[in-house]
């Protein structure tokens, strides 16, 4: 089995890299090859943001991969979703793609412009451990929310559970290449006025790593 793992930053996959049975670097610093229980696992570090994620994911995705994963951390709009929870983001959207008309936000549909703003993963059950994860919808943003007014507006428009800066871009690339994929994220913080004292990135990354190893062991 051949797997592609896409992450925005190396620190989001450091724990996972440490559990590979073999690991080799390539000439491209963004690309690392690993082996886990006879599975070939390629790690792609895209850099932060949807543009970098779309570009580098699109460059490497091909039919040699049986499945692709986007893993990382995220913020949660839902206070009932505890920090450290690992989720399967089955639906994502480019929440900022549109236009402002005073206090009103106009979507591409309302502007009568062609384009994809929402992506839903319809590849179905791929692994028993993946199916155990809470399925949530998310938004992908260029600027993470930290203002009460904008949080209220985006919540009313999209009713998101989580947000990231890469998810929908990864899903867009996989959809167009028709490669089965999953976006798995661990909640590191609540979406609120920026307060890093309430964040727990180390716990989120540990839970993300532990969950992903279980997924690999279940293939």
The pLDDT score that the predictor gives to residue 25 is 74
pLDDT band at 88; cut points 50, 70, 90: very high
Checking if the pLDDT of 215 tops 80, the result is yes
Percentage of the chain modeled with pLDDT above 70? 100
Residues 157-184: pLDDT tens digits?
999 999 999 999 999 999 999 999 999 9
Can you give the pTM of this predicted structure?
A: 0.94
The pLDDT score that the predictor gives to residue 107 is 87
Residues 18-48: pLDDT tens digits?
999 888 877 788 999 999 999 999 999 999 9
Give the whole-angstrom CA distance, residue 212 versus residue 207. 8
**What's the mean pLDDT in 147-152?**
92
| Domains defined along the chain, listed by start | 2-217 (3.40.50.1580)
Residues 6 or more apart in contact with residue 192 via CB below 8 angstroms: 146, 148, 151, 198
Question: To the nearest 5 percent, what fractions of the chain are helix, strand and coil?
Answer: 30, 30, 35
The pLDDT score that the predictor gives to residue 142 is 95
Checking if the pLDDT of 109 tops 80, the result is yes
Looking up tokens 């028709």 gives: 178
Give the whole-angstrom CA distance, residue 112 versus residue 197. 43
HSE of 114 in the Cβ direction (CA atoms, 13 Å)? 0
Residues 6 or more apart in contact with residue 167 via CB below 8 angstroms: 70, 74, 89, 92, 138, 140, 183, 185
**Segments of the chain assigned E as strands:** 2-7, 22-25, 31-36, 39-45, 67-76, 86-93, 99-101, 104-106, 118-120, 135-140, 162-164, 181-190
3-state DSSP call for residue 24?
strand
Asked if residue 87 lies in contact with residue 204, where contact means CB atoms within 8 angstroms, the answer is no
Q: Closest Cα to residue 72, out of 160, 186, 174, 168?
A: 186
């Amino acid at each position: 089995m051949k797997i592609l793992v896409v992450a925005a930053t190396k620190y989001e996959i450091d724990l996972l890299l440490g559990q590979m049975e073999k690991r080799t670097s390539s000439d491209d610093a963004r690309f690392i090859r690993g082996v886990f229980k006879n599975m070939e696992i390629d790690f792609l570090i895209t850099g932060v943001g949807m543009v970098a994620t779309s570009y580098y994911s699109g460059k490497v995705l091909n039919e040699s991969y049986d499945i692709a994963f986007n893993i990382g951390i995220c913020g949660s709009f839902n206070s009932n979703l505890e920090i450290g929870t690992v989720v399967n983001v089955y639906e994502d959207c480019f929440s900022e793609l549109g236009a402002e008309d005073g206090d009103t936000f106009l979507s591409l549909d309302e502007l009568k412009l062609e384009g994809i703003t929402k992506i839903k993963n319809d590849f179905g059950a791929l692994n028993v451990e993946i199916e155990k994860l809470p399925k949530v919808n998310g938004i992908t943003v260029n600027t993470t929310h930290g203002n009460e007014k904008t949080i209220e507006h985006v919540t009313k428009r999209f009713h998101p559970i989580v947000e990231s800066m890469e998810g929908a871009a990864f899903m867009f690339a996989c959809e167009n290449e028709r490669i089965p994929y999953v976006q798995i994220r661990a909640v590191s913080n609540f979406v609120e006025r920026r307060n890093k004292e309430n964040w727990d990135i180390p716990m989120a990354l540990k839970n993300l790593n532990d969950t992903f190893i279980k997924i690999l062991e279940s293939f």
